[in-house]
Amino acid sequence: MIACAGLCSCNKEKLSERIYNQGINVIPAPEQIAQGSGTFVLDKDASIGISHDSLQPVVSFYAQKMRASTGFGLPQKEDGTIRLTIDKTVTGNEAYQLRVTEDGVEVRASSLRGLFYGMGTFLQLLPAEIESPECVDGVEWTAPEVEVTDSPRFPYRGLMLDVTRHFISVEGLKKHIDMLASIKINTLHLHLSDYQGWRVEIKKYPLLTEVGSRRIDEYGKEYSGYYTQDDIREIVEYARERFITIIPEIDVPGHSLAAIAAYPELSCTGEKYEVMSRWGRFPVVFCPGKEVMFEMLDGIFAEMCALFPGPYFHIGGDECPKEVWKTCPHCQKRIQEEGLWTDSKHSSVDKLQSYAIARCERILKKYGKRMIGWDEILEGGLAPDATVMSWRGEAGGIASALMDHDVIMTPASGGMYIDYYQGNSQAEPFAWGGYVPISKTYSYNPVPDTLVQMGKEQYIRGVQANAWAECMYTEDIVEYRVYPRILAVAEVGWTPLKNKDFADFSRRLNNAAVRMDCRGINYHIPVPEQPDYCRNHVAFTDSTVVQFSTSRPMKMVYTLDGTEPGLQSAVYTEPLVFRENGTIKIRSVLPSGRMGIVREVEVERQTFLPASAEEPEHEGLRLRFSPTRCLYVSEMADVKEWKDSILTSIEPIVKLRKNKYSGVEFYVAVADGYFYVPEDGIYEFSSNNTRITVGGRLAVDNDGKPQINSKYGRSLALCKGWHSIKVEQISNFIGGWNSQQRNDGAVRFRKYGEQAWKRITADQLKYN
């Protein structure tokens, strides 16, 4: 769907007067820009001139785009209205100069890449609808008079897409490439192998895709997908035409289960494993004690280096579980033969990993590639010419730069993990964790003061955002997480630090949003949140006030009658007061009229639930357990055989397969009894267990949902005293998440007005 074209054609208002087209809206902001008083008008008489036929690829690319949206012919003429010139006095491969006057447009650069970026800036000076793939009526195609001198702060500006956990189609990758090119991101890093899949065809080793690209999920369904070598050539060429380099990543020696599932001899034991259908680490890795590992990697690298012509090849190297190497006879023999002994700095297995990484680097050098790895490749000593991606904070990057190694900064702590939540977790679609609002991403400075003080800042080659796909189940969700935060990354990587201005960037995002509409991108729009603490269920006993705000100031519309809010709905201007039950549906609205996702908040008037008349007799909770696999609570009604026992506290309910029932992979459990409420009040509940019922009312419902970052809690008005409680737990995998991952088993509660959560402790539990 081309949202901008539909939006424009149905409105008689001149589109150039729309507020999002006012001002200069270039992202990333240029190094230098001076605005004059005049205006250039792109009309049907416009033409394009070039100084040499070698510029044809850039001219053809942009002429085609402008023809599609304007309907103008834009012929090539020697004295064209828009003129592109190679000028070797413009310093820098990506630098350009742009001059827009009332009489025409001139772009100068020393390279085709620079001209491409200069024309990209010119398009951002035009109304946002210039990005429409269909002709748009009623637009005055004007650009302000400006002079721009521009070049990037860093030569490397990247995005990593994890296509292993969840596959992205060829067409989906092209959509990303188009958008990245428009914001001067010049590198797309594809994470192509991991525990959960192998995503690139290797003709010498066909089982890598025949076996390694498939996994069976918790519902018994197959998940699969990979790129053929023809697909890769198509993607690489598409990116090359837009001056984007694609870096492949094959993760070694850890994160390698998909390859081992296809070729078991690659592991230390040679055991047969299946491709993982769940997230997290797995203690099976490549065996660097076996020469077959390096022989196979040589064959894999040979084919892949021919497919990816860029200078870099990423070998991962992160989160490698090395325990098995300590007892593997092959690894121990290698340690002895190579003299990889433990010293004061590194263990023998750390040195073995360093040995494996160095071997990989030598193989890649043979094929003309420079090796990149995550900062764990520092462990055991850094390979001679490796480039380090620092993701665990900046320490790895600083250490590498101090050893005169190139560094690409990509720290999760710096806002570069853009699969994290970008709004309050209670209001946003499910993610696995973390909180990275666009303001945090935008504020990151990739050059640590330490390196500046030591004169080593030149080793920071650039910045990259990473989008890991455990919780990004569809391509739409990938887009929702990546955009618009990658626009902030673009400005971090390109724009001089002194020119950055988040308030102005936020204004420019309104224009960029329409451009993303034209590209059909499902980007994030801030969701209305309660400013104190967000909840989707609000309980009260007399009256209550519900207030909303957004992470970037913007209009909100709402309804109270159950209908979906639209452009004609009431505008939120002040807190909403409730004395009876109600349902709020509220969403944000951009200046273009594009609306965000609907947030629904249930407001419920309650009477206080009375406590039990008598105190229960016994400490703890009654427990019913069955080694049965269920996906949903409703299926527990069909369980025939249960074992009864007692829990002294709630937390062990997620560890039952580690007691006398160890070895049971799946189970269901129900604990019930009473818990003590210390005083009258309205209480919220939170737990990553499957379902919690208090006083016969549902308090937490994670049924059928990944049991991490629970946001499905409800509020209850409770009198002081003992109230019945039931805790239901299904040990299973939902959405790839183990029900025990990130789940300590606790049930937490807090009274309205309190910030801190409290556990329901053992002394608050009893049963009859």
Residue 45: which region, alpha, beta or left (left: phi > 0; alpha: psi -120 to 50)?
alpha
Q: Which residue has the higher pLDDT, 7 or 402?
A: 402
Active-site residue, selected from the candidate residues 102, 295, 319, 476? 319
Active-site residue, selected from the candidate residues 106, 150, 162, 194? 194
Q: How does residue 596 score in pLDDT terms, banded at 50, 70 and 90?
A: very high
In a domain, 180, yes or no: no
Q: Which segment of 195-209, 236-250, 656-670 scores lowest on mean pLDDT? A: 656-670
| Average pLDDT of the residues in 407-413 | 97
pTM given for the model: 0.95
Q: What is the pLDDT of residue 92?
A: 96
Do 559 and 632 fall into the same domain? Answer: no
> CA-CA distance, 63 to 113, in Å (whole number)?
16
pLDDT at 118 over 90: yes
Domain range holding 544?
A: 537-605
Q: What is the pLDDT of residue 655?
A: 86
Which one, of 72, 67, 86, lies nearest residue 44 by Cα?
A: 72
Do residues 710 and 700 lie in contact, with contact meaning Cβ atoms separated by under 8 Å? yes
In a domain, 420, yes or no: no
Q: E strands, 493-616, where?
A: 537-540, 544-546, 555-559, 570-571, 576-578, 582-589, 599-605
> CA-CA distance, 16 to 177, in Å (whole number)?
27
Q: How does residue 433 score in pLDDT terms, banded at 50, 70 and 90?
A: confident
Do residues 491 and 26 lie in contact, with contact meaning Cβ atoms separated by under 8 Å? no
Q: Is the peptide bond before 57 cis (omega within 30 degrees of 0)?
A: no
Query: Using N-to-C axis directions, what is the helix angle for 485-494 and 502-518, rounded to 10°?
Result: 120
In a domain, 524, yes or no: no
In a domain, 743, yes or no: yes
**pLDDT per residue over 304-359, tens digit each?**
999 999 999 999 999 999 999 999 999 999 999 999 999 998 999 999 999 999 99
Do 659 and 733 fall into the same domain? Answer: yes
> CA-CA distance, 491 to 26, in Å (whole number)?
10
Q: What is the pLDDT of residue 281?
A: 86
**DSSP-assigned letters across all residues of 688-727:** SSSEEEETTEEEEE-TTS-SSS---B-EEEE-SEEEEEEE
> 194 catalytic, yes or no?
yes
Last residue of a domain, one of 128, 150, 172: 150
> 171 catalytic, yes or no?
no
For residue 595, the domain's CATH number is 2.60.40
Which one, of 767, 619, 604, 606, lies nearest residue 680 by Cα?
A: 606
pLDDT at 571 over 70: yes
In a domain, 466, yes or no: no
**DSSP-assigned letters across all residues of 204-254:** T-THHHHTTTEEE-TTS-EEE--B-HHHHHHHHHHHHTTT-EEEEEEEESS
* Cα–Cα separations (whole angstroms), residue 225 to 53, 93, 174, 222, 301: 41, 37, 17, 10, 20
> CA-CA distance, 165 to 215, in Å (whole number)?
10
Do 563 and 653 fall into the same domain? Answer: no
Do residues 252 and 239 lie in contact, with contact meaning Cβ atoms separated by under 8 Å? no
> CA-CA distance, 343 to 320, in Å (whole number)?
20
Q: What is the pLDDT of residue 662?
A: 39
Q: How does residue 588 score in pLDDT terms, banded at 50, 70 and 90?
A: very high
Geometric angle at alpha carbon 624, from 628 and 714, rounded to 5°:
95
Type of residue found at 592: S
> CA-CA distance, 523 to 176, in Å (whole number)?
12
In a domain, 49, yes or no: yes
**Residue 324 tokens, joined:** 């098995």
pLDDT at 16 over 80: no
| Percent of the chain topping pLDDT 90 | 88
Q: Which segment of 132-136, 175-179, 279-283, 492-496 scores lowest on mean pLDDT? A: 279-283
Do 685 and 752 fall into the same domain? Answer: yes
> Per residue, what are the HEC states of 152-186?
CCCCEEEEEEECCCCCCCHHHHHHHHHHHHHCCCC
Do 649 and 567 fall into the same domain? Answer: no
Q: Which helix (H) or strand (E) holds 621?
A: strand 621-626
Last residue of a domain, one of 129, 150, 171: 150
Which SS3 state, helix, strand or coil, does residue 130 take? helix
| Average pLDDT of the residues in 482-508 | 98
pLDDT at 3 over 50: no
pLDDT at 127 over 70: yes
**Torsions phi, psi for 425 (to 5 deg):** -60, -25
For residue 630, the domain's CATH number is 3.90.182.10
Q: What is the pLDDT of residue 5?
A: 41
Do 578 and 623 fall into the same domain? Answer: no
pLDDT at 764 over 90: yes
Q: How does residue 219 score in pLDDT terms, banded at 50, 70 and 90?
A: confident
In a domain, 722, yes or no: yes
Q: How does residue 657 score in pLDDT terms, banded at 50, 70 and 90?
A: low
Q: What is the pLDDT of residue 11?
A: 39
> 145 catalytic, yes or no?
no
Active-site residue, selected from the candidate residues 255, 346, 405, 723? 255
| Average pLDDT of the residues in 24-37 | 98
Domain count, the chain: 3
> CA-CA distance, 200 to 209, in Å (whole number)?
7
**pLDDT per residue over 73-116, tens digit each?**
999 998 899 999 999 999 999 999 999 999 999 999 999 999 99
Query: How many Cα atoms are found within 13 Å in the side-chain-facing hemisphere of 532?
Result: 12
> CA-CA distance, 68 to 130, in Å (whole number)?
8
**pLDDT per residue over 352-389, tens digit each?**
999 999 999 999 999 999 999 999 999 888 888 899 99
Do 67 and 133 fall into the same domain? Answer: yes
Q: What is the pLDDT of residue 4?
A: 55
Do 674 and 542 fall into the same domain? Answer: no
Which one, of 196, 177, 183, 180, lies nearest residue 123 by Cα?
A: 183
pLDDT at 198 over 70: yes
Do 622 and 763 fall into the same domain? Answer: yes
Q: How does residue 618 score in pLDDT terms, banded at 50, 70 and 90?
A: very high
Do 32 and 90 fall into the same domain? Answer: yes
Which contacts qualify for 628-631: CB closer than 8 Å, 24 or more apart? 628/666, 628/667, 628/668, 629/665, 629/666, 629/667, 629/732, 630/666, 630/668, 630/730, 630/732, 631/218, 631/219, 631/704, 631/730, 631/732, 631/734
Partners of 387 in the β-ladder: 372
**pLDDT per residue over 712-749, tens digit each?**
889 999 999 999 999 999 998 888 888 888 889 999 99
Which one, of 107, 129, 126, lies nearest residue 118 by Cα?
A: 107
Do 98 and 12 fall into the same domain? Answer: yes
In a domain, 734, yes or no: yes
Q: How does residue 15 score in pLDDT terms, banded at 50, 70 and 90?
A: very low
Last residue of a domain, one of 578, 605, 632: 605
> CA-CA distance, 293 to 46, in Å (whole number)?
60
Do 645 and 559 fall into the same domain? Answer: no
CA 423 to chain centre: 13
For residue 10, the domain's CATH number is 3.30.379.10
Q: How does residue 280 score in pLDDT terms, banded at 50, 70 and 90?
A: confident
| Average pLDDT of the residues in 686-703 | 95
